[in-house]
């Protein structure tokens, strides 16, 4: 079998969750490198804003990734639009929920699971046939460092991100011997709108913080910008990585998962306490 180029820059790509954050930065980066980009999101205004930032060919599509039938329609539309074989599919759209397990609101957890897990599954199933027909291309599914470790108040998010990792790892093995690859992305903290868009009913630690305050705390400890994240993800895909860790904290989480598989949170909670103390001092 001829060895295919892993280069995706300059070739068509599809990105969900492109109205904000990492998805928008991926669209800007790859479009800037000459890729025709198909961008999709449930947020039409944000999607239009992203499209306006791109100078090359764009196919912009309002899509709720939870809708399996609409993902299939989107894939059909893409077949019509594609100016060349599809190089990469970024199933990136995602949301967050903060709550204790005991206090979880089932419809919030369901919203998260439908978006973060089933959205990725529907996107993979809709676009995989296009790549298999070409015998070329890469499916890039966004998990998280919370797909490596379980974190308090993030039970649904962790469950969905662990599930994406399992789903994508299984797919990778099925694709052995073909020209199609499956990649799992594990970002650490990235400064995006994820915490501001999260569902939050009450401070899970009982400290009375508002959602705004929780989001600001999250953003203060993030180590990586969305543009930097997009660059790491893009380079990782082109280097043929099966698993991409994004940001220095992602490497720390990955190491802790191996070194201290049952005691990692003792280390993380100490680091978090130190960061919070530093935040208080700097106010
Ligand atoms: N920001 C972080 O620290 C971080 C860390 C690990 C993983 N991630 C993951 O990275 C991905 C991108 O998130 P981000 O940080 O850029 O957040 P973001 O909130 O800035 O962007 C997420 C995008 O997904 C879209 N979206 C939400 N629900 C959707 C739906 N049903 N259908 C279509 N689009 C939908 C939103 O409208 C938004 O534009 C997510 O999967 C997230 O879980 C983020």
Rounded alpha-carbon distances, angstroms, from residue 38 to 9, 49, 249: 14, 14, 30
To test the pocket of ligand 1, the residue of 23, 62, 94 to mutate (highest count of ligand atoms within 8 Å of its CB) is 94
Burial class (CB in 10 A: 0-12, 13-18, 19+), 238: middle
φ, ψ dihedrals at 172, nearest 5°: -55, -40
For residues 246 and 229, the answer to whether their CB atoms sit within 8 Å is yes
Please tell me what DSSP assigns to residue 72: H
Rounded alpha-carbon distances, angstroms, from residue 93 to 129, 134, 220: 20, 25, 22
SS3 track for 9-47: CCCCEEEECCCCHHHHHHHHHHHHCCCCEEEEECCHHHH
Q: Hey, where are the domains in the chain?
A: 13-248
Is the CB of 249 inside a 6 Å radius of any atom of ligand 1? no
Q: How many A from CA of 281 to the centre of ligand 1? A: 31
Please tell me what DSSP assigns to residue 52: H
Each residue's pLDDT, cut to its tens digit, for the chain (283 residues) gives 444 557 999 999 999 999 999 999 999 999 999 999 999 999 999 999 999 999 999 999 999 999 999 999 999 999 999 999 999 999 999 999 999 999 999 999 999 999 999 999 999 999 999 999 999 999 999 999 999 999 999 999 999 999 999 999 999 999 999 999 999 999 999 999 999 999 999 999 999 999 999 999 999 989 999 999 999 999 999 999 999 999 999 999 999 999 999 999 999 999 888 877 877 777 6
Structure tokens at 77: 């539309």
Centre a 10 Å sphere on the Cβ of residue 79 and count the other Cβ atoms it contains: 12
Rounded alpha-carbon distances, angstroms, from residue 272 to 37, 246, 257: 38, 19, 17
Please give the angle made by the CA atoms of 54, 93 and 191, to the nearest 5 degrees: 75
* pLDDT attached to residue 225: 98
CATH class name, domain 13-248? alpha beta
Which atom number of ligand 1 is nearest to the Cα of residue 19?
39
For every residue of 146-160, DSSP letters joined together read GGTS--TTBHHHHHH
* pLDDT attached to residue 4: 56
Which atom number of ligand 1 is nearest to the Cα of residue 145?
6
Is the CB of 22 inside a 6 Å radius of any atom of ligand 1? yes
Is the CB of 180 inside a 6 Å radius of any atom of ligand 1? no
Q: Is 138 left (phi over 0), alpha (psi -120 to 50) or beta?
A: beta
Q: How many A from CA of 67 to the centre of ligand 1? A: 16
Structure tokens at 215: 């989001």
Q: Where are the beta strands (DSSP E) in the chain?
A: 13-16, 37-41, 58-62, 88-91, 97-98, 137-142, 180-187, 199-200, 243-246
Residue matched to tokens 């980009």: 37
φ, ψ dihedrals at 38, nearest 5°: -100, 125
Which atom number of ligand 1 is nearest to the Cα of residue 46?
39
Catalytic residues: 157
Helix (H, G, I), strand (E, B) or coil at 61: strand
* pLDDT attached to residue 275: 78
């Amino acid at each position: 079998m001829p060895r295919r180029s892993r280069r995706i820059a300059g070739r068509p790509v599809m990105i969900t969750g492109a109205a904000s954050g990492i998805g928008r930065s991926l669209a800007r980066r790859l479009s800037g490198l000459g890729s025709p980009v198909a961008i999709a999101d449930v947020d039409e205004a944000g999607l239009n804003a992203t499209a306006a930032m791109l100078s090359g060919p764009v196919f912009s599509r309002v899509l709720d990734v939870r809708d399996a039938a609409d993902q299939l329609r989107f894939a059909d539309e893409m077949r019509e639009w594609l100016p060349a074989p599809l190089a990469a599919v970024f199933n990136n759209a995602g949301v967050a929920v903060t709550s204790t397990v005991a206090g979880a609101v089932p419809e919030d957890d369901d919203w998260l699971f439908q978006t973060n897990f089933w959205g990725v599954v529907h996107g993979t199933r809709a676009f995989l046939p296009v790549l298999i027909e070409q015998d070329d291309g890469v499916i890039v599914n966004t998990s998280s460092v919370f797909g490596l470790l379980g974190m308090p108040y993030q039970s649904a998010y962790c469950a969905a991100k662990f599930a994406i990792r399992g789903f994508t790892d299984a797919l990778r093995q099925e694709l052995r011997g073909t020209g199609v690859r499956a990649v799992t992305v594990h970002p650490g903290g990235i400064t995006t709108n994820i915490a501001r868009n999260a569902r939050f009913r009450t401070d899970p630690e009982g400290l009375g913080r508002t959602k705004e305050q929780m989001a600001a705390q999250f953003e203060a400890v993030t180590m990586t910008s969305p543009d930097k994240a997009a660059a790491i993800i893009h380079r990782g895909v082109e280097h043929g990585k099966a698993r991409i860790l994004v940001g220095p904290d992602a490497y720390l989480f990955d190491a802790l998962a191996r070194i201290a598989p049952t005691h990692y949170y003792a280390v993380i909670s100490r680091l978090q306490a130190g960061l919070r103390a530093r935040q208080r001092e700097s106010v």
